[in-house]
Amino acid sequence: MTPAALFVSTREQFNNAHFSMAPPILKKTPLEKCKKPENHIFKRKIQSEFEDWKNSGGRKKALVVKGLRQVGKTYSVREFAKSNYENIVYVNFKENESAKKIFDADLTVNRIIIDLSALIPHSHFVEGKTVIIFDEIQECANARSSIKPFCEDGRFDIIATGSLLGIKGYNKKKSKRIPTGFERIVYMKPMDFEEFLWAKGISEDVVPYLRGCYKNKTPVSDATHQAMLRYFKEYICVGGLPYIVDQFISTNDMNVVWQEQHDIIEEYKDDFGKHLDENENEEIDLSLLARINRVSESIPAQLTKENKKFVFSVLEKKGRPEKYLPAIQWLWDFGIITLCHNLNNITDPLEGNKIENVFKIYMQDSGLLVSMLDRDCAAKILSGELRCYKGAIFENIIADSFSKRDRKLYYFHKDSGLEIDFISKVDDEISLIEVKATTEIQNLQKLLKKILTMM
């Protein structure tokens, strides 16, 4: 097997991985006009998936949007609803306990809409012109069960969101039924670099220009190159959580950004180990909570090691995988981390060659990782000192970019010292990705020779 490519430029790989859904070229000038969008209405790529759902034929299904808290699910869904429906009925099960009781009775659609109209003033249920939004639907198991009768009835569209919907066994209430076959599930993640540029008001034809340069192997103009490097450094530090991006654009103050990032991390910690009992009351598994905290707090230290494989003994002396794997799975389901597994062999199928308990853990949002490192880390990145923390930040941003394209990630490590940072499928070919914080290629050439003799 011959590898399809050996990627040696972090910037090139990032462009190729992140900018997969660029808009058409609208103007001739590739740069600039950095006007802030009015009211900071952020354009998100997931809107196209919402439109595909609405325009799809066949059996009627509800749109179910899963994703980490604060990624913009509710905002994006409501903006989509405003543009596509005359009437919006919004129910937040996290904030409205009374709404949950409506679904404890039978799940007849007519009864439900009567009760909802009594609970929600000025709500209107007009056939073909109304969407019902069930926000934080994981808090009400029977509301999710009602998706099937709503879809079979067909008069109203249903959109549901859930921040903890991916946590297996989160809601332990015995629901009436699971709506198998009646859900279109989409996953929402933090903003990618292109969405970050849109948020800053950068001309939308910049990205196609950059992609054209990459594809044709032509130089980027110096002015554009310098501007994009600056924006990329900002993106690494700020990340892609819409509220944090909004604060950055509004204040241009990295101290505000850092504080808001820490506040969000604390909010996430409040969710760690949480589930609902049979009566949908909140409970916390204290044992699981302790293990989740140990894993999450160890991630920066694990990534700054020369060998970034996750080491369980860092968590506690003689730490065992079987003790901490449930905590890692919880964080994965929560949406705050992504995993990169080691491979036995670099051959198809990659998933079949992964080593189950040997992996690296990366944060899903680079801004949160930076905020977990030293207090002056963002300042060092913005000033151009990108080599701090032994490439951990560079590797994390590449892992993050692949994750946002729903690409599974692997790496290859041998005790002899041979290691390939990332292995993934690019254009259906196995591709080897090396992430370097410098332009030095001598070691990469040696690595390539070793790989070719191994295959």
Are 170 and 164 a contacting pair, CB within 8 Å?
yes
Element (H, E) at 141: helix 141-145
- In angstroms, the CA 396 to CA 377 distance is 15
- In angstroms, the CA 379 to CA 245 distance is 17
- The residue among 395, 393, 426 whose CA lies nearest residue 16 is 426
- In angstroms, the CA 169 to CA 332 distance is 14
- The C-alpha R_g of the chain, in whole angstroms, comes to 23
The neighbour count for residue 333, using CB atoms within 10 Å, is: 17
Question: Which amino acid does the sequence have at 125?
Answer: F
- The residue among 401, 414, 393, 408 whose CA lies nearest residue 189 is 401
- In angstroms, the CA 411 to CA 400 distance is 15
- In angstroms, the CA 189 to CA 335 distance is 8
Q: What is the pLDDT of residue 263?
A: 96
Domains of the chain: 6-24+192-454 (no CATH), 45-188 (3.40.50.300)
Q: What is the pLDDT of residue 168?
A: 85
Give 422-425 contacts, CB < 8 A, sequence gap 24+.
422/340, 422/395, 422/398, 423/343, 423/346, 423/350, 424/350, 425/350
Low-confidence stretches of the chain (pLDDT < 70) are 1-40, 176, 386-388, 390, 437-455
- The residue among 177, 185, 285, 204 whose CA lies nearest residue 21 is 204
pLDDT tens-digit series, residues 275-328: 999 999 999 999 999 999 999 999 999 998 878 899 999 999 888 999 999 999
- The DSSP secondary structure of 323-363, one letter per residue, reads HHHHHHHHHHHHTSEEEEEEESSSSS-TGGGEEEEEEEEEE
Residue with tokens 């709503």: 150
pLDDT tens-digit series, residues 168-209: 888 988 876 778 899 999 999 999 999 999 999 998 889 999
What is the pairing mode between strands 419-426 and 429-433?
Answer: antiparallel
Cβ-in-10-Å burial (0-12, 13-18, 19+) of 41 comes to: exposed
> How many residues comprise the chain?
455
- The DSSP secondary structure of 255-311, one letter per residue, reads HHHHHHHHHHHHHHHHHTTEEE-TTS-EEE-HHHHHHHHHHHHHHHHHHTSSS-S--
Cβ-in-10-Å burial (0-12, 13-18, 19+) of 98 comes to: exposed
DSSP three-state, residue 10: helix
- Extract the tokens encoding 299: 């991630």
What is this structure's pTM? 0.86
Spatial neighbors of 297 by CB under 8 A, at least 6 apart, are none
- In angstroms, the CA 234 to CA 200 distance is 11
